[in-house]
Structure 1
Amino acid sequence: MQSTTCDELVAQLRALGVREGGVLLVHSSYRAVRPVAGGPIGLIAALREALGPEGTLAMPSATGEDDQPFDPAATPNREDLGIVPALFWQQPGVVRSAHFDAVAAIGPKAEWITGGPFVLPPTAPGSAIDRIREAGGQILLLGVGHDANTMLHLAELIGGAPYRSDFHYTAADGTRVHYGENDSCCENFALADDWLRAEGRQREGRVGHAEARLIEAADLIRVAVARIAADPLVFLHGSAEGCEECDEARASIR
């Protein structure tokens, strides 16, 4: 396949609806987008150019090391987040939140997004994810589906999803801290596709060689919260479907 140039990527992103001067949270699969001129760093450059100098680019930057204290200056990302966010947080000018479930960002609103309070569960109101919504942000799913969409965990909490699985993190002094997180296999997050499409609130197209979805964070929260409020277990597989993670979530309900 022919590499997609930076100019081509920028044109595709803007045609999709990425706003110059906006706030953009990106979940990505470089494998789906590639080949790109300049590789993953070239893709980051195109995302920044599409946003322009007044725009703020954000990506997930969580650690998978629950048994080690998190150091935002050194701790690697969880591997499943992919190569683009793994490189992004290490780029000059990028700031990373001190929360173990970190977000990295660059741009005028980066410090505000990443500098919020330490909340649990990690995507609760007041979190970096919530601040992206507050800032009028958009969500770009680049070669991935809604199962990668962290903003839906915020929707679960606002909508009243009752399940909490046991997680822990390790504080700076080595203390293990347990907390309950709204967690499941996230496969049924794909329901958001139909919910958003039904209202014309999801733009879809091609960026590089990947299928891309672009959503206003406010639209996603509004639509998903209403569905969750009507059926708090809407994202869980049924008990007969044999999903261990969803069964654990069901079992946590008191």
Structure 2
Amino acid sequence: MSTAHAPSVSTAPHSRALLSGQLAALGVERGGVLMVHASLSAVGAVNGGAGTVAAALREALGPEGTLVVPSFTPENSDTSPQFRATVHGLGEREREAVRAAMPAFDPALTPAPSMGRLSETVRRSPGSVRSAHPQTSFAALGPLAGHVVADHRPDCHLGEDSPLARLHELRAQILLLGTGFGSCTAFHLAEYRVPSPPRRTYRCVVGGGGGSRWWEYEDVALDDGDFAELGADFERSEPGAVRTAPVGSAAGRLFRFPAAVSFATGWLPAHRGAQGAHI
């Protein structure tokens, strides 16, 4: 009696050539500007890990293309969800000890551990440049990298004086690589463009004069709690705006910055009140 066997599934690691070809087939624009949000665990095993994924992205973009990633640092703020999670259940003395141990932001050295392995790989790559915002910086590689990250005003997280506005002007593409629309930073630019957005106070540790100090400032109250719903409506309501295809073992979504921001600017006032989450 013969025994039927299920077809075998290849578990071989993905190569740079495979990933680059898939990115090109998805529609990554050669010579363009691309902002990426990535979950490398979703991409699966890759020969060479995060470095190979970054190389595949740059190969798909070509030598004239520019790669951008968020390199946010909520770890140096006491108004962030990360801080609240860290000190949850601690007494006042322990909370103050955690706060006192927070290092000042240094754009050349401060890691961005919550942003994932691809972001850190790009940030640490030779030739990478980083914007100067102490909480919501971006790192970039390529001919337009300096232009994208320049003049990121320290009291403007993700608005008109941030790299998001430069990316909008450049009609950059956005790639969600194994992540959902909840990670789509571009939607935050729309929060600045709605009428009279709610504002709040932020605090973080900054350097200067050979030491560090706490800095407090006011900015738009950022809230990504409904971005997954917003993105689903964007994808459903704008046929053809979002291209989808596998990249490695992950689902890839590719779309234009202006299309996403334009849709979000109309969607947000109709779907939310004046509340804002904390970053």
Q: Which TM bucket (shorter chain)?
A: 0.7 to 0.9
Inter-partner Cα distance in structure 1 for 2:264 and 2:142? 28
1:191 aligned residue (224, 230, 255): 230
Larger Rg: 2
- 1:145 paired with 2:185, answer no
Q: Secondary structure at the match of 2:68?
A: strand
Q: Is the 8 A contact 2:42 2:249 kept in 1?
A: yes
2:268 to 214, 225, 228: 228
More deviation in 125-134 or 167-176? 167-176
Spell out, residue by residue over 1:119-148, the C-alpha distance to the aligned partner (whole angstroms, 9 max, x if none).
533101121111111111010011111111
- Give 3-state SS (helix, strand or coil) of 1:43's partner: helix
**Pair 1:45-2:65 in alignment:** no
- What value does the CA root-mean-square deviation take over the aligned residues? 2.0
Partner of 2:106: 71
CA distance in 2, matches of 1:141, 1:178: 31
Structure 1: segments with no counterpart, 5+ residues: 237-245
Distance 1:157 1:189, change over 3 A: farther
Q: Residue 213 of structure 1 corresponds to which residue in structure 2?
A: 253
Q: Look up the SS of the partner of 2:119 in the other structure.
A: helix
CA-to-aligned-CA distance 1:41-97 (integer Å, 9 cap, x gap): 0000000000000000000011121254311111010x3211110121011111111
> Residues 138-170 of structure 1: CA distance to partner in whole angstroms, max 9, x if unpaired?
100111111111111101111237333432123
CA change 1:235–1:2 in 2 (3 A) is farther
Deviation at 1:209?
A: 0.5
State the partner residue of 2:38: 28
2:76 alignment partner AA: E
Task: Describe the SS at the equivalent of 1:249.
Answer: coil
SS of equivalent residue, structure 1 residue 172: strand
The one-letter amino acid paired with 1:183 is L
Q: TM-score, normalised by structure 1?
A: 0.86
- The alignment covers a number of residue pairs equal to 236
Q: Matched residues in 1 for 2:138 and 2:229: separation?
A: 23
Paired position in structure 2 for 1:90: 124
Distance in 1 (alpha carbons) for counterparts of 2:159 and 2:188: 8
Instruction: Name the CA distance, whole Å, in 2 between partners of 1:226 and 1:194.
Output: 12
| Residue of 156, 161, 167 corresponding to 1:132 | 167
Structure 2 length as normaliser, TM-score? 0.79
**Contact 2:156 2:162 survives alignment (8 Å):** no
Letter of the 1:90 counterpart: R
SS in 2 for 1:157: helix
Q: Percent identity?
A: 35
Q: Deviations over 1:158-185 (max 9, x none)?
A: 1237333432123334142232342235
